[in-house]
Amino acid sequence: MYLTTMDGGQQSAISHQLADGKLHAYVPFPDVAIEYRQLGGKWQQYQHPIPDNATTELRSRSVSGERFSRISRYQNNR
């Protein structure tokens, strides 16, 4: 899922930020799930901030569970 910007571009619907050593993820649409995986592991449902100790990929999943967004990658630069 992407948001269309005023200039016609697109950006990921998932926002994320680093706080207190953890990665916090947000999506502005109700009932849309966020999933994440670290280091190419298994996709898991995001339920709370996750430790910022590895490269993390985020994606959103439609309410029906049939569609997924493009993947956003956050890389720890430590």
**CATH number of the domain encompassing residue 59:** 2.60.40.10
Inform me whether the pLDDT recorded for 74 exceeds 60: yes
Which pLDDT value is given to residue 52? 87
* 73 closest CA partner among 27, 6, 12: 12
Q: What is the pLDDT of residues 14-61, one digit of tens each?
A: 888 889 989 999 988 888 899 999 988 999 999 999 998 888 999 999
Q: In total, how many domains does the chain have?
A: 1
Q: What is the extent of the structural domain holding 42?
A: 2-74
Rounded to whole angstroms, the Cα distance separating 23 from 62 reads: 22
Of 71, 41, 78, 77, residue with least CA distance to 57 = 71
12-16, 61-65, 72-76: the lowest-pLDDT one: 12-16
The number of residues in the chain equals 78
pLDDT tier at 77, thresholds 50, 70, 90: low
Which pLDDT score, from 0 to 100, does residue 62 have? Answer: 87
